[in-house]
C-alpha cells in the first residue's frame, strides 16, 4: 500500500514541477511578447513620425515654392495690365494726333481752295479792267481822231477862204 502512495507522491511532485515550469515558461513568453510588442510599436511610431515629418517638410518646401510662384505670377499680371494701359494710352494719343493732323490738312485744303477762287476772281476782274481800259482808250482815240478831222477841216476851210480872199 505504501508503494502506491509513494508513486502518487512522486507523480504529484512531478506534476507540481511541470506546472511550475509551464507557469515560468508562460510568464517568460508574456514578457517576451510584451517587450517585442513594445519595440514593434516604438518602431511603427518612429516610422510614422519620420514619415509625417517628411510629409510636412515636403509640404512646406513646395508650398513656399508655390507661394513664390503665385506672387511672381501676380506681379506679372499687374505688369501686363500696366503695359496694356500704356499701350492703350499711346494708341489714344496717336488717334488724337491723327485727328488733329486731318483737321489741319482739311483746313489747309480749304485755304488753298479759297486762295485759288480769289486768284480766279482777281484774274477775271483784271481782264474786265483791261477790256474797259482798252475800250476807253479806243473811245479816246476815236474822239481824238474826230477832233483832228474837225481841225483839219476847219484849217482847210480857213485856207480856202484865205485863198479866195487873196484872189
Half-sphere exposure of 38 (CA within 13 A, CB side): 6
What's the predicted TM-score (pTM) here? 0.38
d(CA 65, CA 112): 69
DSSP run (H or E) holding 160: helix 2-166
Q: Which of 92, 114, 89 lies closest to 100 in space, CA to CA?
A: 92
pLDDT digit string (tens) for 72-82? 999 999 999 99
Residue located via cell numbers 484774274: 123
d(CA 43, CA 51): 12
pLDDT digit string (tens) for 126-167? 999 999 988 988 999 999 999 999 999 999 999 989 888 887
How many other C-beta atoms can be found within 10 angstroms of the C-beta atom of residue 3? Answer: 7
Which DSSP category does 167 fall into?
-
d(CA 135, CA 140): 9
pLDDT digit string (tens) for 36-67? 999 999 999 999 999 999 999 999 999 999 99
pLDDT at 1 exceeding the cut of 70: no
Amino acid at each position: 500500500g505504501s508503494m502506491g502512495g509513494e508513486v502518487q507522491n512522486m507523480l504529484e511532485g512531478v506534476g507540481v514541477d511541470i506546472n511550475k515550469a509551464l507557469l515560468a515558461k508562460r510568464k517568460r513568453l508574456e514578457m517576451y511578447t510584451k517587450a517585442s510588442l513594445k519595440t514593434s510599436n516604438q518602431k511603427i511610431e518612429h516610422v510614422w513620425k519620420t514619415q509625417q515629418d517628411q510629409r510636412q517638410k515636403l509640404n512646406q518646401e513646395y508650398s513656399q515654392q508655390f507661394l513664390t510662384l503665385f506672387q511672381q505670377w501676380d506681379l506679372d499680371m499687374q505688369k501686363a495690365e500696366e503695359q496694356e494701359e500704356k499701350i492703350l494710352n499711346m494708341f489714344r494719343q496717336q488717334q488724337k494726333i491723327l485727328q488733329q493732323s486731318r483737321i489741319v490738312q482739311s483746313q489747309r485744303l480749304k485755304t488753298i481752295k479759297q486762295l485759288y477762287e480769289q486768284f480766279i476772281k482777281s484774274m477775271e476782274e483784271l481782264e474786265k479792267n483791261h477790256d474797259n481800259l482798252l475800250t476807253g482808250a479806243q473811245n479816246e482815240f476815236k474822239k481824238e481822231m474826230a477832233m483832228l478831222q474837225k481841225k483839219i477841216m476847219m484849217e482847210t476851210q480857213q485856207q480856202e477862204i484865205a485863198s479866195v480872199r487873196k484872189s
